[in-house]
């Protein structure tokens, strides 16, 4: 399924640089759980842009898009080139 594929892609692209995120529940708020600092968040956005070939606009960098791993995955899926 696409969910399994996305988890594998996170394992490849995100978790090596952000190992704390590997332990997070996919619906857990990464900021409330203190799993991501604001500086790490900037790096995470850059990592996502590079790994998935996306250009993320400042107005897209919102909690609704990036608060949880599930929301990040959905954002990537929605923006990913077909």
DSSP label at residue 37: -
In whole numbers, what is the pLDDT of the chain averaged over residues?
A: 94
- Other C-beta atoms within 10 Å of 8: how many? 10
From first to last of the 82 residues of the chain, give the pLDDT tens digit: 788 999 999 999 999 999 999 999 999 999 999 999 989 999 999 999 999 999 999 999 998 999 999 999 999 999 987 6
How far apart CA 6 and CA 58 sit, in angstroms, is 23
Quick: pLDDT tens for 13-35.
999 999 999 999 999 999 999 99
Dihedral sign for Cα atoms in the order 51, 39, 78, 14? positive
The answer to pTM > 0.85 is: yes
How much is the pLDDT for 34?
A: 95
How much is the pLDDT for 80?
A: 87
């Amino acid at each position: 399924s696409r969910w399994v594929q996305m988890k594998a892609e996170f394992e490849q692209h995100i978790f090596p640089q952000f190992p704390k995120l590997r332990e997070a529940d996919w619906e857990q708020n990464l900021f409330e759980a203190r799993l991501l600092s604001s500086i790490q968040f900037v790096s995470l956005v850059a990592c996502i842009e590079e790994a998935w070939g996306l250009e993320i606009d400042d107005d897209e960098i919102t909690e609704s898009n990036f608060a949880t791993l599930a929301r990040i995955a959905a954002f990537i899926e929605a923006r990913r080139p077909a």
